Amino acid sequence: MEEASQQEQILKTHPTRRELCSLKVALVHDYLVQDGGAERVLSALQEIFPDAPTFVLLYHKSHAQAKGRTVIPSFLQRWPLALRKYQWYMPLMPTAVESINLTGFDLVISTTSLFAKGVIAPADAVHVCYCHTPTRFLWQERFGYLSNLPYARIFHVFAPFWFHELRLWDQLAAGRPDYMVTNSQTSRERIMRCYRREASVIPPPVDTDKIQLTTNLGTYWLAGGRLVKYKRFELVIRAFNDLNLPLKIFGTGPEERKLRRLANKNINFLGYVPEGEKVQLYQSAIGFLAPQIEDFGITSVEAMSAGKPIITCRKGGGAETVIDGVIGRHVDVQHWEDLRDAVLRFDASHFNPATIRAHAEQYSRERFQSSIRKFLQRTIDEKA
Measured at the CA of 105, the angle between CA 102 and CA 108, to 5 degrees, comes to 80
pLDDT value, residue 15: 45
Question: What is the pLDDT at residue 165?
Answer: 83
275-283 and 298-305 helices, crossing angle to 10°: 60
Q: How far is CA 160 from the centre of its chain?
A: 27
Distance between CA 248 and CA 360 in Å, rounded? 22
The pLDDT of residue 142 is 57
Which residues contact residue 134 at a Cβ distance below 8 angstroms, ignoring those fewer than 6 apart? Answer: 140, 170, 174, 190, 191, 193, 194, 195
User: What's the CATH number for 208-363?
Assistant: 3.40.50.2000
Report pLDDT for 13: 47
Query: Is 96 within 8 Å of 74 (Cβ atoms)?
Result: yes
pLDDT of amino acid 136: 82
The pLDDT value given to residue 129: 98
Expressed in angstroms, the distance from the first to the final Cα of the chain is 26
The pTM assigned to this predicted structure is: 0.86
Amino acid at 152: A
What pLDDT does 22 receive?
85
- Stretches where the chain sits below pLDDT 50 are 1-8, 10-15, 151
- The third-level CATH classification (topology) of the domain covering 2-205+365-383 is Rossmann fold (3.40.50)
Contact 131, 200 (CB under 8 A): no
Neighbours of 326 (CB within 10 A): 14
Sheet holding 285-290, edge to edge: 267-271, 247-250, 220-224, 285-290, 310-313, 328-331
**Residue 226: count of CB within 10 angstroms of its CB:** 18
| Cβ 366 vs Cβ 47: under 8 Å | no
Whether 206 and 305 have beta carbons less than 8 Å apart is answered as: yes
Beta bridge partners of 330: 312
| Sequence letter at residue 223 | A
Q: Are 135 and 170 in contact (CB under 8 A)?
A: yes
Task: Delimit the CATH 3.40.50.2000 region(s) of the chain.
Answer: 2-205+365-383, 208-363
Does residue 109 sit in helix, strand or coil? strand
pLDDT, residue 111, reads: 96
